[in-house]
Structure 1
Amino acid sequence: MTTNVSTNLHSESSHQTRPAAPSDAPLSVAIVGTGFGGIGMAIRLKQAGIHDFVMLEREGRIGGTWRDNIYPGAACDVPSVLYSFSFEPGYHFPRFYARQPDILAYQEHCVRKHRLDQHIHLNCSVRSTRWDEGAACWQIETTSGRYFRARALVPATGQLGTPELTNIPGLKTFAGPSFHSANWRPDVALAGKRVAIIGTGASAAQLLPHVVRQAAHVTLFQRTPPYILPRPDRPAPRWETWLYGHVPPLRWLARSIVYLAHESLGLAFYSLPVFEAVMRRVLLAHLWLRVRDPELRRKLTPTYAAGCKRILVDNGLYTAVTQPNCDVITESVARIGPDHVETTDGIKHPADILIMATGFASQTFSGTFEVTGRDGRTLANAWRNGAYAYRGVSVNGFPNLFMLYGPNTNLGHSSIIYMMESQIRYVMGALKALQRAPGTALEVSQDAETGWNAALQKALGNTVWTNGGCSNWYQGQDGRITNNWSGPSFTYRRAVRRFDAEHYLSTKPA
């Protein structure tokens, strides 16, 4: 049985709140978030002998997106042998593709094993952070009124932590239960109800089969159909886990095979028309085999390049939409009434329950709190035309700020944990440089930042995310690709293989 480690962690309700006194020595690091990025960063800190750090978590339990997304069917689309820390092997995932409860249990296992509980503060939402020039540290204020000071700030809030709430007219007039898939309501009974689901992304595809089995009728509102790859899932026997834990070369081989298989999918994304054409034919053949009704197949056929939107790895959506109690509506949603969803063709579709599977506010890389750097400059203002960062980690004007899963570090085809581990190694290099020079501030130079992002955007201009003929959540308001990396994941790892101090300005308080 898995124990909820949260019962052993600090809760801000048990702390006396007070501002940090100027005489208090600042911590080495403050990590914001306890998802995979925050946990991985904390483990590496302890392994390096750095113990004066905190992990600030706004919720009452660790886990990030895998804590929040508890909808039926929630699972990872990358095999667990790759969607896990390379430095934390031997954990038993019951299936080849891990489900949400098993991923959360793995995160809690990592917290217990590495004794991170003494560093974690639950129910400790960060309100604001401000760079203190005189002390060369970050001042961190939480909503509970508690303050922290740290030489380095590591936002590890990710790109998928804040649900994207739709602003469809009339939403507040809906009389029945309505909720986002990331705020799933287990208390809402679906049996015998008419359920409307808005969206056909990964969350919708995973929860749809459960809803179709339970509800009297399901209406799925689709703006753009996804490409879907079948998911070769299977049970994972314990002897296999034992081998991975006790025979490191075998686990390395298994990870390498899965890694190379996923990297091969990425060949279609980097302006290689032949690979994209082959990929598209394979995906459309899968659709043709699974959906035999010509009209329904037409609705589900994408007209954009494969990979322009994230390709789903899923076995349930095509089966669910062919059930007699499920309709797919392709007309846009115009407004919502007390008991219906009205589309632009004037048809009112009855609904007792409304589920919004509308994704996440993916541009909030530093979380929902205010970040104020040098000379009163805010990160929100710096990013008003779209987010950017040097190597996806640092921003000029914000000394000793090192992001995990920041701008242009997302992938459309493989494990984000691979990317996070690459970033963590780079950040550790920066933190060790700070240790060697107490009181120092490290700030990426404007020239390095500008040059990096110019080259990155040029490379992204040749990818399917720019030229694929679709709109996607990888793009910022100015049309730039702000989320994704421009090539294979190993090229990013090579780019951050060492901390390049020569591209940073090193200063000390006067």
Structure 2
Amino acid sequence: MNSSNGSPVTPAHEVVIIGAGLGGIGAGVALRRAGIEDFVIVDKWPKVGGTWLANTYPGVAVDVPSPVYNFSFQQRSRWSRFFAPGSELQRYAEEVVDKQGLRDKLLLGSGASKGVFDEANDLWRITLDNGSVLTARFVIGAVGGLEQPHNPDIPGLADYTGKIMHSSRWDHDYDYRGKRVAVIGTGASALQLIPELAKVVSRLTVYQRRAIWIAPKPDFAMGPVLNSVLNFPPLQQTVRFVGNVGVNAGLGAGLAVSNYPRVTSVGLTVGETALKSYLFAQVRDPELRRKLTPDYRLGCKRPSVSNSYFRTFTKPHVDLVTDAIERFTPTGIVSADGVERDVDMVVLATGFKVMEKGYTPPYPIYGRDGLELGEFWDANRFQAYQGVSVPKFPNAFLIVGPYAYAPGSYIPLIEATSAHAARVIGEARRRRATCVEVRQDPHDRYFARMDRRAKRTHLFSQGCVTSNTYYINYQGDGAAFRPSTQLEMYWENRHFPLEDYLFTARPPALARANGRRTKAGSAR
């Protein structure tokens, strides 16, 4: 679309970042490091923090060690616990925003509802929930994967008259103490939530579809001495590096050595034996232990850590139901064995819509020729070069795209893909290009390499397909993870050939405007 006098349209911002969680914050810092100042970070929430702002259920905490879960450019040395509570992570996000000078870049309280690429002017038009439209030369999508709650499709759910909430949308005004509570789901959120609920409710019923692999949680209060030790930068950096290597090995070793299936199988067997021994030490009742033992291989789903989850089910007022849920009634839940259990409150700890049709992305994005990104992925499978760029979607980048995340801490992922986006935008500035788009061939080679690797992992060779893991989407692909080490993820996102992208400047007037912006810096 051109202006009324036929001259090219100058965008209001050079970059719009969608999402003010740690991904959007990391992207903002990466842009600043590349000398790019004219950007804005938009988010639907009233504060920064993303996942750590939205998830406030009892017991919410990071499931990797706190000294690992921070940015390399701003490592925090004050943690209350080795596995910090979620509120502390949200405060850390605020600290990064302030220290990195991003506060005046924030536009909070109205998220994106649509994105359209204007081919005539080489810019993006981002419509916000409040109806306003932002224009930008480039857009970075930093909406996390754990964003859209997954509510189960169970008959009668709408007829239930008690309190119902998803774990990621906790209602703190509701007093559940002394109530009969049901939890549906036994994933990572439920693992933290269930022991806390059991402390105060009169009866807790947990509906489990699949058990979860759990290791002991080496959690402890950090205290002033340990925090002061971590405040010594060389030691802090060493701890962060070693910790990230350990977390990557624990969560993604089977994916990284996918070309060695026998090694993977032996490693998984050793790990499963150790975790079954831990379960045996926690639960002596053989029938209860059988119910809590996963029927799929370690690594099919993201494993977790807890010191109290197993023992919670040994309490007399806690029931574990493994029969499928048949339907809701106005006052409770009927399981497949015909038993109806009346409950005052139902917690849906049923996870999120990850790489699902209509939810990734969570709003329509239109690239060249009106191509919509969600529809493209639905028809052609989820794919993105280095998890960042998709052909026919120029000037657009993702922080958590398909095949981006090498399992481990999310922070190295954010830093890697943010560096990728900032490098391309910086090169576009240098070349005075108004349009940059990943070339089809390198994109296709990356997709084929990741798909080939993923299909060799234990996720596809040892029964994981039937484990209901979010690692495998509705298309039968492992698009939610990158089958590699985080070291490879780090290196390839910083050292990819720039010629994998096509840089163009058309019409000439736009190129001149882009060149002036490069020299002048911010041009709001």
TM-score, normalised to structure 2, is 0.90
Aligned 8 A contact 1:29 1:53 in 2: yes
Residues of 1 paired with 2:66 and 2:410: CA distance?
12
Aligned 8 A contact 2:361 2:374 in 1: no
Matches within 5 A, 1:154-193: 154-193=140-179
Residues of 1 paired with 2:154 and 2:376: CA distance?
29
Residues of 2 paired with 1:232 and 1:148: CA distance?
46
Q: What SS class does the counterpart of residue 168 from structure 2 fall into?
A: helix
Residues of 1 paired with 2:185 and 2:318: CA distance?
14
Aligned 8 A contact 1:33 1:55 in 2: yes
- Pick from 416, 435, 448: which aligns with 1:422? 416
Equivalence for 1:213 = 199
Matches within 5 A, 1:3-42: 23-42=9-28
Residues of 2 paired with 1:327 and 1:90: CA distance?
40
Aligned-partner residue type, residue 278 of structure 2 = H
Q: What SS class does the counterpart of residue 402 from structure 1 fall into?
A: strand
Structure 1: gaps (5+ residues): 1-20
Equivalence for 1:495 = 492
- Pick from 499, 503, 506: which aligns with 2:503? 506
User: For 1:99-158, what per-residue CA distance to the aligned partner results, in whole angstroms no more than 9, with x for missing partners?
Assistant: 101000000111111221211111122121111111111111112121111111100001
Aligned-partner residue type, residue 43 of structure 2 = E
- Pick from 461, 478, 481: which aligns with 1:481? 478
User: For 1:463-510, what per-residue CA distance to the aligned partner results, in whole angstroms no more than 9, with x for missing partners?
Assistant: 122223223111122101110110221121122122422112222324
**More deviation, 250-259/474-483:** 250-259
Equivalence for 1:8 = none
Aligned 8 A contact 1:171 1:336 in 2: yes
Aligned 8 A contact 1:209 1:317 in 2: yes
Aligned-partner residue type, residue 140 of structure 1 = I
Aligned 8 A contact 2:248 2:409 in 1: no
1:242 CA displacement: 3.5
Aligned 8 A contact 1:91 1:106 in 2: no
Residues of 2 paired with 1:90 and 1:299: CA distance?
40
Aligned 8 A contact 2:15 2:38 in 1: yes
Equivalence for 1:10 = none
**More deviation, 137-146/196-205:** 137-146
Residues of 2 paired with 1:44 and 1:487: CA distance?
23
Aligned-partner residue type, residue 99 of structure 1 = P
- Pick from 90, 99, 120: which aligns with 1:104? 90
Matches within 5 A, 1:190-209: 190-209=176-195
Q: What SS class does the counterpart of residue 159 from structure 1 fall into?
A: coil
Aligned-partner residue type, residue 337 of structure 1 = T
Aligned 8 A contact 2:67 2:77 in 1: no
Equivalence for 2:391 = 396
1:150 aligns with 2:136: yes
1:192 CA displacement: 2.1
Residues of 2 paired with 1:342 and 1:366: CA distance?
32
Residues of 1 paired with 2:207 and 2:329: CA distance?
15
Aligned-partner residue type, residue 342 of structure 1 = V
Aligned 8 A contact 1:389 1:407 in 2: yes
Residues of 1 paired with 2:307 and 2:370: CA distance?
50
User: For 1:28-61, what per-residue CA distance to the aligned partner results, in whole angstroms no more than 9, with x for missing partners?
Assistant: 2100001111001112222333211010111212
Matches within 5 A, 1:340-379: 340-363=332-355, 367-379=361-373
Equivalence for 1:16 = none
Aligned-partner residue type, residue 76 of structure 1 = V
1:459 aligns with 2:453: yes
Q: What SS class does the counterpart of residue 93 from structure 1 fall into?
A: coil
- Pick from 277, 282, 306: which aligns with 2:274? 282
1:22 CA displacement: 6.5
Aligned-partner residue type, residue 487 of structure 2 = F
1:433 CA displacement: 0.8
Count of residue correspondences: 488
Equivalence for 1:406 = 401
- What is the RMSD computed on CA atoms of the aligned residues? 1.7
Equivalence for 1:437 = 431
Aligned-partner residue type, residue 323 of structure 1 = K
Equivalence for 1:293 = 285
Residues of 1 paired with 2:17 and 2:373: CA distance?
17
**Cα distance change of structure 1 residues 326 and 491 upon mapping to structure 2, 3 Å threshold:** same
1:57 aligns with 2:43: yes
User: For 1:219-238, what per-residue CA distance to the aligned partner results, in whole angstroms no more than 9, with x for missing partners?
Assistant: 10000000001110111123
1:411 CA displacement: 4.2
Residues of 2 paired with 1:351 and 1:67: CA distance?
28
Report % sequence identity: 33
1:264 aligns with 2:249: yes
